[in-house]
């Protein structure tokens, strides 16, 4: 039988669970990241197979957990060549042919699979679902095929994570302390936008976060910070999830209660970091929101990368408008002026 189900795919009581992967050994976000966290040994086996050239489009990579089932098998289904690539229907089709053979060969009695190639892969579910029915229909008389349509990821705090906690190096510790301080400062956890801008200002204050910030949709952005948040998720923070949520829909980032004591110990042992965090809180006063911090960081960026924007309010207006249509529409002239004048009055401009 083939049926549509909802819920958390990784918690399905099924013989086999299907994960969508690329062929280059990266599980950086979405359902693949969820699988990586839930079965770290599977990820190691998958990476080794990729390095040997064994993970190819149209061919299933099957891993057998050491723990008692369910599941008996994790089936990595390659839906794209490179993680940056878009998925192609032809690759889904050839993959489904091999998946059907795998189900029959392994005598799989139940299997749960995600929306293959949709989401990060960019395919339309209306095109993919009929292929699943077409190619898995012949084995469905012996196998309970459970299909998960696109529906978003589970809540971050409900995601399975069996990875070892990463060590709390100076960058991670400073970021946890920064987030914790911001919560106390504003009485609420920061959004992803706020965390990026807080890190931007903390690095400007002199803290060595070793992050390269670039102009992005929501202002200065460092991909290294995204990776740091992903590594800490479920161990020290919650809210980042599997990184698949749209920025506007993402949960706020919270330091887990059991990590707070570690943060406080780090701050007690590193007064220079504590002083820089306190300085950042002073500098962003009056801009404590996703809108406010994006505004302040974006205006700061143009003022420090355009000499004319630093000395001329009108030039700063122009630079912000040129950044993107979104910023041109979002930020009013009076708000840009407020940020520009605040930056001249505070120490942030002297940090460059």
**DSSP secondary structure string for all residues of 213-242:** -EEETTEEE-HHHHHHHHHHBTTTEES-TT
Pick from 245, 221, 212: nearest CA to 293: 221
Give the side-chain half-sphere CA count within 13 A for 29.
Answer: 16
Of 225, 239, 335, 245, which Cα lies nearest the Cα of 291?
A: 335
Catalytic one among 29, 36, 80, 197?
80
Q: What is the largest CA-CA distance in the chain?
A: 73
First to last CA, the chain: 63
- The conformation of residue 349, written as its DSSP 8-state character, comes to G
The answer to whether 197 is a known catalytic residue is no
Rounded Cα gap, residues 225 and 215, in angstroms: 14
Catalytic annotation, residues: 80
């Amino acid at each position: 039988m083939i049926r549509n189900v909802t819920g958390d795919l990784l918690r399905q009581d099924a013989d086999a669970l299907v994960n969508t992967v690329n062929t280059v050994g990266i599980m950086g976000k979405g359902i693949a990241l969820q699988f990586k966290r839930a079965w770290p040994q599977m990820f190691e086996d998958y990476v080794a197979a990729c390095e040997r050239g064994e993970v190819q489009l149209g061919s299933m990579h099957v891993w057998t957990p050491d723990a008692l089932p369910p599941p008996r098998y994790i089936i990595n289904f390659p839906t794209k060549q490179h993680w940056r690539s878009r998925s192609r229907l032809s690759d889904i089709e050839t993959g489904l042919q091999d998946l059907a053979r795998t189900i029959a060969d392994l005598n799989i009695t139940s299997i749960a699979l995600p929306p293959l190639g949709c989401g990060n892969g960019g395919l339309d579910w209306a095109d993919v679902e009929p292929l699943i029915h077409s190619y898995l229909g012949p084995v469905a008389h012996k196998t309970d095929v459970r299909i998960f349509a696109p529906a978003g990821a589970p809540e971050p705090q409900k995601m399975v994570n069996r990875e070892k906690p990463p060590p709390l190096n100076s960058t991670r510790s400073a970021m946890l302390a920064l987030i914790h301080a911001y919560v106390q400062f504003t009485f609420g956890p920061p959004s992803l936008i706020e965390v990026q801008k807080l890190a931007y200002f903390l690095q400007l204050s002199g803290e060595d976060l070793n992050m390269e910030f670039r102009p992005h949709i929501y202002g200065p952005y460092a991909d290294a910070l995204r990776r740091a948040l992903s590594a800490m998720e479920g161990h020290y923070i919650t809210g980042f999830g599997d990184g698949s949520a749209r920025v506007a829909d993402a949960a706020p980032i919270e330091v887990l209660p059991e990590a707070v004591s570690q943060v406080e110990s780090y701050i007690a042992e590193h007064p220079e970091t504590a002083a820089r965090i306190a300085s950042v809180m002073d500098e962003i006063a009056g801009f404590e929101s996703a809108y406010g911090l994006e505004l302040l960081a974006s205006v700061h960026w143009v003022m420090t990368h355009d000499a004319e924007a630093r000395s001329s309010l009108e030039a700063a207006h122009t630079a912000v408008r040129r950044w993107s249509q979104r910023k041109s529409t979002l930020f009013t002239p009076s708000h840009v002026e407020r940020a520009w004048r605040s930056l001249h009055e505070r120490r942030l401009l002297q940090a460059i």
